[in-house]
């Protein structure tokens, strides 16, 4: 099959391109940079296009919409244009594709004590502007599905893996020397989504023989993680030594200034770098297990040492941060 992938130069899009190219599919990469990374050029045809504008029709069987908007700070109009208008343009360009996969976000939920089910997403909840526009983009995907087409919406939680330019740098922001300064309570639990599990879920959908024209699933690793334990384990693996986690409430006056008063940090410590995880953020995986037979193989425990080795091989966290733009195409991946 020929698969069009938007956001092909980004972490998620780049991995998806590699994953399905390795599976024997033709790849049509779509992204805004004038010139693709040379590694992408070797495995895909490339269309330089801005999803904020009308796109040429995709000559493909499948469309995977992985492009997202991560710039910070942002305003609501930028989020709406990128998430909602951008998704509308992609759906129109993919009008002849037999299947469309839309990568959404768990930000569409107002998390509580219980794991979030797919039906819990609502615009009536107190969502962030990011989450609200992501949910509005889903409504675009749900609208007027042609009789010959099937559509899938996936809601991952904190996608991570080798080449990640968002989640891992946020962890680095918490560390200063041998101490991890974190504003998350030790009892807080979260779901996480390894990038390979996300691609695996898409693959299951592509091989699904039956099923309704529209399917919406949470997607995450099998385990539910302790936020504090996970942060400590990952950063300790990268440092090759045990690190100590200290809880620093965000309400403590001048706490960040006190932490940053010394030296030896990758970037100034930020106890609130993982603010979206300050409360339980667990996804219910019942539906994707039942309808796609989803059995994820990757998790933090069996992948963090591989991630740590790659970071160490390029010279550590500081050099990793300096190479954010090229991380999705690191030679070690």
Q: Coil, helix or strand for 83? A: helix
326 alpha carbon, distance to own chain's centre: 17
Residue 310 has pLDDT above 60, yes or no: yes
Quote the pTM value: 0.92
Give residue-wise pLDDT tens across range 237-275: 999 999 999 988 765 544 555 545 554 444 555 555 566
Among 207, 107, 109, 118, CA closest to 159: 107
Helices (H), 129-262: 129-142, 167-172, 195-206, 227-239, 255-259
Cα–Cα distance for residue pair 58/2, rounded to 1 Å: 10
Contact (CB, 8 A) for 169 and 265: no
pLDDT given for residue 166 in this prediction: 87
The dihedral sign for the CA sequence 11, 275, 194, 68: negative
Ordered structural domains, the chain, with CATH:
2-164+192-223+278-300 (3.40.50.720)
CB hemisphere CA count around 259 (13 angstroms): 29
Residue 333 has pLDDT above 80, yes or no: no
Give residue-wise pLDDT tens across range 9-29: 999 999 999 999 999 999 999
Residue 194 has pLDDT above 60, yes or no: yes
pLDDT given for residue 305 in this prediction: 94
pLDDT given for residue 217 in this prediction: 98
């Amino acid at each position: 099959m020929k698969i069009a992938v938007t956001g092909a130069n980004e972490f998620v899009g780049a991995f998806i391109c590699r994953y399905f190219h390795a599976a024997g599919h033709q790849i049509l990469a779509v992204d805004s940079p004038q010139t693709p990374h040379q590694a992408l050029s070797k495995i895909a045809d490339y269309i330089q296009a801005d999803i904020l504008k009308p796109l040429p029709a995709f000559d493909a069987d499948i469309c995977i919409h992985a492009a997202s908007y991560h710039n910070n700070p942002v305003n609501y109009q930028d989020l709406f244009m990128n998430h909602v208008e951008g998704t509308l343009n992609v759906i129109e360009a993919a009008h002849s594709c037999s299947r469309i996969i839309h990568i959404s976000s768990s930000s569409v939920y107002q998390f509580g004590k219980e794991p979030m089910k797919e039906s819990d997403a609502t615009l009536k909840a107190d969502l962030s502007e990011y989450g609200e526009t992501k949910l509005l983009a889903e409504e675009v995907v749900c609208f007027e599905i042609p009789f010959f087409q099937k559509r899938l919406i996936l809601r991952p939680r904190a996608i991570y893996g080798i080449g990640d330019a968002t989640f891992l740098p946020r962890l680095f922001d918490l560390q200063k020397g041998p101490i991890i300064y974190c504003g998350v309570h030790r009892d807080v639990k979260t779901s996480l989504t390894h990038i390979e599990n996300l691609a695996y879920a898409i693959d299951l959908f592509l091989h699904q023989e039956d099923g309704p024209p529209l399917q919406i699933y949470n997607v995450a690793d099998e385990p539910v993680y302790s936020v504090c334990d996970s942060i400590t384990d990952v950063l300790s693996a990268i440092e090759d030594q045990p690190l100590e986690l200290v809880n620093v409430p965000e309400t403590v006056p001048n706490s960040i200034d006190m932490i940053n008063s010394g030296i030896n940090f990758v970037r100034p410590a930020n106890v609130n770098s993982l603010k979206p995880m300050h409360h339980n953020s667990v996804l219910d995986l019942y539906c994707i297990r039942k309808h796609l037979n989803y059995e994820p193989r990757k998790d933090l425990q069996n992948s963090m040492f591989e991630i740590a080795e790659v970071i160490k091989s390029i010279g550590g966290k500081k050099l990793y941060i300096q190479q954010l733009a090229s991380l999705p195409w690191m030679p070690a991946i």
